[in-house]
Amino acid sequence: MEHLPLFIKIKHRPCLVVGGGVVAARKAKVLLARGARLTLVAPQLCPELAALQSQFVWQNDVFAEHYLDEQFLVVAATDNKEVNARVYQAANSRGLLVNKADDSKRSAVIFPSIVERFPLQVAFSTGGDAPWLARLLRARLDALLPKHWGELSRVAGKLRTKVQLAFATSDERRRFWARAEDDATLNTLLQQGELANAERWLEQAITQPQTGEVILVGAGPGDPDLLTIKALNELQKAEVVLYDQLVSPEIMALIRPEAELIAVGKKAGHHSVPQDQINQLLVEQALSGKRVVRLKGGDPFMFGRGAEELETLKAAGIPFQVVPGITAAAGATAYAGIPLTHRDHAQSAIFITGHSKEDGKEPNWASLAQSRQTLVIYMGLMRSGHIQQRLIDNGLSSSTPVALIERGTTPQQRVVRGTLSELAVLAEQVVSPSLMVIGNVAALADSLAWFKPQAAQTEAQAQYA
């Protein structure tokens, strides 16, 4: 990479734009928005520049080298490549910062793509290799960044010294701002432009005791693109993360690098940390004042014991939040091309766990063995033979389609299909985590499957090798 990303204070500095068309107008707007003392050289101005003429000095002329005198930054933005080259060569020979609009590869300065929430700015560039990619990234970031963060940045700047005096360490300051950014009252004040009231709210918050908090976050079924925006924000603010084995490595990579990671290893047949110890860990970490994320695969309230953990936190007086996640029943089936409901095949869907209850009580197999419904079973591999027999015994046809979705939504996804009479045999062909789908909708995977897992992609790539 030849360009060093820098933020340069351009306010009141003399800048020159050569050109009077739409490209020159785009460059001029960026410079004027940041307070540049702008001179523009062009025989004529496009309507966009003409509307801004009061904000810059217009030299109604063709380019001459004397216009470079005492300039700090020069932009060559005419529609004539030869003129642009002459401007570039002359400015470069003087050691000036110069941008050649039609040749970013040779420019000493690149105008990056910018997402603005003044005074907050996010700038990025592909070095001229893929401008379309920079525009795509800009659009995505523009949608992600809250509109009121500019106001938050301004208010935070006014209170920076007070926060530094109130909180001795960077961790304490980060914790304070993370809690503030979460607060609905503060966000409403900022969104309504009531900056004075927002500042008073923050001044009062500085004096309040800082307590720990637990955020229960659903990581979704595996594909990091299915993580919610709120979940991603929490992973970036976490000081401690207690995570399960079902959370994919790609999602783990999104956690703030400085966060402490604690594996609690919950997975079917591999409960390396008992639930009561997990509860105690959450309480201990929160009582130490930290922002704790409890990260669970799928949705934390779908067979994830999330409610049990929150009950413990409630009893200990620890504040908490819940960030839902896409559960495997919705994510894995969608990636396998299996709709949970269909007017011609299933009017309802039932989610159950394959784990037997501690009291030994069985589910109501008669209600589960109904036709025209979809049965989705979590953690059912180890009891597949029992599930198969009980459903058949209660009247569900042995020819009912079934599907086992292994590592759904990930590049390693694999779907094994057959009938209910084959369920126990099919279960031996897959590994955990796998989702079990029983019902006529499972047969639709033949025509509706769209996701290309890694094995299929490798096979397709081999055709072009």
Residues marked active site are found at 244, 266
Please return the burial class of 181, using the count of CB atoms within 10 Å of its CB with bins 0-12, 13-18 and 19+.
Answer: middle
Q: How far apart are CA 245 and CA 379, in angstroms?
A: 14
Number of CB atoms found within 10 A of residue 64's CB = 11
Q: How far is CA 142 from CA 7, 123, 136, in A?
A: 19, 11, 10
> Phi/psi zone of residue 97: left (φ > 0), alpha (ψ -120 to 50 degrees), beta?
beta
Query: How many Cβ atoms sit within 10 Å of the Cβ of residue 352?
Result: 16
Q: What are phi and psi of 76, to 5 degrees?
A: -95, 105
In Å, how far from its chain's centre is CA 450?
A: 23
Number of Cβ atoms within 10 Å of the Cβ of 195 = 15
Tell me the C-alpha distance between 264 and 412, whole Å.
23
